[in-house]
Amino acid sequence: MLLKGVGHLFVANARMFFRVRQEIFWVFFLPVFLLILLGLVLKDVAGIGSMRAEDVHFPIGVVDNDRTQTSRRFIDTLRNAPEFSVKEFSQEEGMAQAQSAEQRVVVVFPDGFENALWRSEAKIEVVVDSRSLPLTEMALNIMRERIDMVLATDGQAARPGKALAGGEGRRGKGESGPAVGPVKLPVRFTRTKVRTVEEFFDFIDFLIPGVMAMAVMTSCIFSLAPTIVRLREQGVMRRLWVTPLSRLSFVASHVFFRLFIAMAQTLLIVVVAFSLFKTNLVLPMASILVFLLLGNLNGTALSFVIAGFAKTPEVASTIANVVSIPMLMLCGVFLPLEIMPKTVLPFIRALPLTHLSEGLRQLMNAQKDFTNLWPSQLILTAYLLGFFLIGIVTFKWDKSTANSGR
Mean pLDDT, residues 356-380 taken together: 90
Strands 58-64 and 84-88: parallel
How much is the pLDDT for 205?
84
Q: What is the largest CA-CA distance in the chain?
A: 103
Phi and psi torsions of 132, nearest 5°: 55, 60
Local confidence band at 332 (pLDDT 50, 70, 90 cut-offs): confident
Q: What is the mean pLDDT of the chain?
A: 76
Closest CA to 228 of 304, 324, 299: 304
How much is the pLDDT for 365?
82
Task: Identify which has the larger pLDDT, 139 or 216.
Answer: 216
How much is the pLDDT for 380?
95
Task: Identify which has the larger pLDDT, 347 or 13.
Answer: 347
Whole-Å CA distances, 62 to 85, 103, 122, 233, 357: 10, 10, 16, 60, 28
Rounded Cα distance, 360 and 287, in Å: 9
Task: Point out the least confidently predicted range of 80-94, 129-143, 271-285, 327-341.
Answer: 129-143
Rounded Cα distance, 39 and 278, in Å: 11
pLDDT tens string 47-57: 443 334 444 56
Closest CA to 26 of 210, 333, 303, 261: 261
Local confidence band at 400 (pLDDT 50, 70, 90 cut-offs): low
pLDDT tens string 68-78: 988 888 888 88
Local confidence band at 278 (pLDDT 50, 70, 90 cut-offs): confident
pLDDT tens string 164-188: 444 444 444 444 433 434 444 567 8
Which domains does the chain possess? 2-43+202-394 (no CATH), 53-200 (3.40.1710)
How much is the pLDDT for 257?
86
How much is the pLDDT for 21?
64
Residue 385, pLDDT above cutoff 90: yes
Contact call for residues 122 and 164 (beta carbons, < 8 A): no
pLDDT tens string 302-324: 998 998 888 888 888 888 888 88
Task: Identify which has the larger pLDDT, 223 or 45.
Answer: 223
Rounded Cα distance, 58 and 143, in Å: 10
Residue 395, pLDDT above cutoff 90: no
Kindly list the strands in the beta sheet with 187-194, ordered across the sheet, starting from the edge strand earlier in the chain. 84-88, 58-64, 105-109, 122-129, 187-194
Contact call for residues 65 and 111 (beta carbons, < 8 A): yes
How much is the pLDDT for 80?
86
Number of C-beta neighbours around residue 237 at 10 A: 20
How much is the pLDDT for 57?
64
Task: Identify which has the larger pLDDT, 399 or 129.
Answer: 129
How much is the pLDDT for 55?
45
Task: Point out the least confidently predicted range of 24-28, 115-119, 311-315.
Answer: 24-28
Q: What is the 3-state secondary structure (H, E, C) of the chain?
A: CHHHHHHHHHHHHHHHHHHCHHHHHHHHHHHHHHHHHHHHHCCCCCCCCCCCHHHCCEEEEEEECCCCHHHHHHHHHHHHCCCEEEEECCHHHHHHHHHCCCCCEEEEECCCHHHHHHCCCEEEEEEEECCCCHHHHHHHHHHHHHHHHHHHHHCCCCCCCCCCCCCCCCCCCCCCCCCCCCCCCCEEEEEEEECCHHHHCCHHHHHHHHHHHHHHHHHHHHHHHHHHHHHHHCCHHHHHHCCCCCHHHHHHHHHHHHHHHHHHHHHHHHHHHHHHCCCCCCCCHHHHHHHHHHHHHHHHHHHHHHHHHCCCHHHHHHHHHHHHHHHHHHCCCCCCHHHCCHHHHHHHHCCHHHHHHHHHHHHHCCCCCHHHHHHHHHHHHHHHHHHHHHHHHHCCCCCCCCCCCC
Task: Point out the least confidently predicted range of 14-23, 142-151, 256-265.
Answer: 14-23
Number of C-beta neighbours around residue 338 at 10 A: 17
